[in-house]
Amino acid sequence: MDHNFDLIVIGAGPGGYTAAEHAARQGLRVAVIERHKLGGCCINYGCIPTKAFIHASSLYSSLKNCGQFGLVAGETGFDFPAVCAYKDDAIARFRESVGQEFDQLGVVFIQGTAQIVREGVVSVTAAQGGKEVFRARHILIATGARAYKPPIPGIDLPGVVTSWEILGTPHWDYDQLVILGGGVVGVELASVFNAFGAKVTIIEQAPRLLGPMDREISESLEKMLRRRGIDIYTEASATAIEQTADGRLCCRFRMKSGLPGQLEATRILVAAGRRAYLDGLTADGLTLETKDGRIAVDSNFQTSIPNVFAVGDVMETVQLAHLASAEGVCVVDKLCGNPPSVLLSTVPSCAFVELPVIPTCIHVNPEIASVGISEEQAIRHGISVSCGRYDIRTNGKAIISKESSGFIKLVFESHRKVLIGAQMMCPRASDMIGEMATAVANEMTARQLLSAMRAHPTFNEGIGEAIRDCLEKSR
């Protein structure tokens, strides 16, 4: 094997494999080094298995409630190992598709643990212990992040797990599940196991679930989860985890008022965020500047080491697979001297505030999605806004499918009516948010958006209704 490359990518998750494929299409000779499996955390222990669980649990819930459509399903149940086998098949098929793309593009995949020895030089240690040295003009770090376990007494007891273990273990022991953290991971897995019949409790330190999201979405989500039987304690912190005499777990926690509480559980899921994976990334004597535990980069994703770049969860506070992919593409475009293929943010002439063009999606039922900024954020920036809102319960597709919970909210700058944000909590929100991201990136106005016809009956019609609501309010 030729050990010289134009680009070496460390990490084969979405940030890494997307950058590698994009670079190979530009004619660069590329190698990707991964210590575990092709696809990184996202494909193997994150997005793909989680969404497979969500799909299976949603179908199970639909079967149990099919009588509302005049259907009879008979006795329903689930085989958790079989559900996990379905999930594993989805992972394998996705991983295989990435591997086939590598083969077609000539990307070299190297399995082992990479360490940057000096500028342009990477040492790789194989699982068996052998070492090889590779060289490249440029190096891209995309090592991602791993689940964070806060220093709570008992956090390492058997039965206290992260999403990594839950998504990788085909054994049901979730009759009583306590989840520490009300962010995306906690909320999505709470919905999955609640649908499968587990008794689920969420303990969240912040005043509300999904803190960075629009307040109305957070509040609506919390009400919905409570209606489904999920207990939620906000402004509460776990203080200790103990093993009970019968082998179960006891989670002790304290609320803002100071009152203590305790919950028995068969499993405790720690969903308290993720921390950048930096272990052994550079050799002794080679300094890689970090900030708050993440790799520090400049506006071009350049690290403190010349010709070494970083993308994705290893340097970002916003940890999203599609953001890592977009950043990887941006780095390759810069290296090749090409104009950017994708925008990460924009500053519309009407607002003079940097808007993120990064869709955020949460796969609960109904789905949650957002892009740009919320009304609350716009007001904090001093932007005068006009909002349009549509309640999904009057939508034809929602009436047919009996999925009538949720809304669409669009945020326009009040003078030119340029779209600067969208928040959705409705069926198919994760599919529809792409149109809104395109509109924000291109400074599209309400009237421009309204000029596009939307098919009937679709959930997407709700976007048009929200636009009309904004324009009617502004008359």
- Please give the Cα distance from 409 to 352 (Å, whole number): 22
Separation of CA 180 from chain center: 18
Q: Are 242 and 155 in contact (CB under 8 A)?
A: no
Q: 34 by DSSP, 3-state: which? A: strand
- Please give the Cα distance from 432 to 422 (Å, whole number): 10
Residue with tokens 């999505």: 188
- Please give the Cα distance from 254 to 190 (Å, whole number): 21
β 145-147/113-118 pair status: unpaired
The secondary structure element, H or E, covering residue 421 is strand 419-425
Q: Are 410 and 472 in contact (CB under 8 A)?
A: no
Choose the catalytic residue: 36, 171, 363, 456. Answer: 456
DSSP state, 301? Answer: -
Please name the residues in contact with 356: beta carbons below 8 A apart, sequence gap of 6 or more.
318, 344, 345, 371, 372, 373
State yes or no: is 456 an active-site residue: yes
Output the CA angle 367-17-192, nearest 5 degrees.
25
User: Where would I find the beta strands (DSSP E) of 321-401?
Assistant: 345-346, 355-356, 360-362, 368-372, 385-391
Q: How far apart are the first and last CA of the chain?
A: 69
Q: State the Rg of the chain over Cα.
A: 24
User: Which runs of consecutive H residues, i.e. helices, occur in 236-320?
Assistant: none
- Which residues form the catalytic set? 456
